[in-house]
Amino acid sequence: MKKLWGGRFEQEADALVERLGESVSFDARLAPWDIRGSIAHARMLGECAIISKRDAKKIIAGLKAIGKDIVSGDFTFDPALEDVHMNIETALTERIGDAGKRLHTGRSRNDQIATDVRMWARDQIDVIDGLLTGLQQAFVTFAESHNEAILPGCTHLQHGQPVLLAHHNLAYVEMFSRDAERFGQLRRRVNVMPLGSAAMAGTPYPIDRKRVARELEFDSVSANSMDAVSDRDFLIEFCANVALTMMHLSRFSEELILWSSPEFGFIEIGDAFTTGSSIMPQKKNPDVAELVRGKTGRVYGDLTALLTLMKGLPLAYNRDLQEDKEPAFDASDTVQLCLAVVARMIPAIAIDADAMARATERGFLEATDLADYLAARGLPFREAHAVVGKLVLHCTKKDLKLPCLSLEDLRRFSPLFNEDVLKIMAPEAIVRARDTIGGTAPRRVRAALSRARKRLFR
């Protein structure tokens, strides 16, 4: 079927132009939102006497029937009809006659697609919010199951200070809480209805935009018709939020990859979330974590594509905007899958608390506490830092560990050391000493877990 755009054109579209311009191959997924928006628009047209109530009822019934056919798989989308809107409207007219041709009164595909995509984005945000909650719940449950394990906390991937594994896990709860907050803030900006802006300047028909907005559960209607049809800030923000969430997932995945290696040996990931090698029988590869890490770069590409798409577009609508959907769809699909699989993988992680404990014996994790000990006894911290630095150098040359030093050894470096210093160097004592808000002390971590459980398990 060759397309002629009404009475203005005498020649049919070139076959390659049809291939270039069709979008139904990917925007067909917007059909549920397109039908919902069209039903609300038709109902309003009838109530405002812009079309007859009889025609409005026929349109609504026809759209509902088409919607059922789409869900059941009995509807065939035709690429020659270009997009989801024309496929549905053409099918509607074929089913109910001329009444179907009146549906498009007072609107344009420009405000129609902007409305569809906003409704789609709103629903995706709600799904992602639920997945973020589920992931945080998995972290909290895991942390509660391993609330006594201690491992080296790192900066620069070098041993820094001992921390509770539960405290480490709660850091990710904080990250994903911020992600959820960002999506919640975005949802308010998404939930503004463009429908009624028509092509770019509004419509001369006496439509009731607020009535349509109420039916479609929008908080408000757009204030400027030109901005309404050409704005895709919300999709860029959506992909930016997804990119941040994927970055957090990737950071966690990187740690799983490191921790499951023989060099660390802190964890073993369950069989259902690992793979073998085609040639090396002993291998148990953290492929799920690697895939999540890899897909993060793909989502960054989606965000970059949208930013690049928008940077040169004059007002108002431009056909370039057809290219906004695939990156947004891909980003949404990817983050939803990754959030779900990581949440399911966390309970399948077994920890080796002994390996973590042994690791705290390496890297001089007691050094900061020794410096704090001297500072508490009046030595300026920078001088205390230098003293302990010399102690560490001494131990490095002698292949010793700080807890192995006697009080006499310590006093060679500072007379401020007393017998009580020997009690502060155990990992448990170091962790217990960080008893400030946000610290890794057991009672602070228990309180943080309690708050997280109350917030997330409602």
The secondary structure of residue 417, as a DSSP letter, is -
Phi-psi region of 84 (alpha: psi -120 to 50; beta: other; left: phi over 0): alpha
What is the spatial distance between Cα 409 and Cα 402, in angstroms, rounded to a whole number?
10
What are phi and psi for residue 38, nearest 5 degrees?
-70, -35
Nearest C-alpha neighbor of 168 from the set 341, 385, 339, 360: 360
Choosing from 72, 156, 278, 406, which is the catalytic residue?
A: 156
Choosing from 25, 52, 220, 277, which is the catalytic residue?
A: 277
Mark whether 41 is an active-site residue. no
What is the spatial distance between Cα 441 and Cα 430, in angstroms, rounded to a whole number?
8
Other beta carbons within 10 angstroms of residue 393's beta carbon come to 10
CB pairs under 8 A, 24+ apart, for 391-394? 391/367, 392/364, 392/367
What CA–CA distances, in Å, run from 417 to 17, 95, 363, 407?
A: 82, 91, 21, 7
Nearest C-alpha neighbor of 193 from the set 109, 110, 115: 115
Mark whether 277 is an active-site residue. yes
Contact by Cβ (8 Å): 72, 58:
no
What is the spatial distance between Cα 362 and Cα 73, in angstroms, rounded to a whole number?
61
Contact by Cβ (8 Å): 342, 363:
no
Catalytic residues: 156, 277
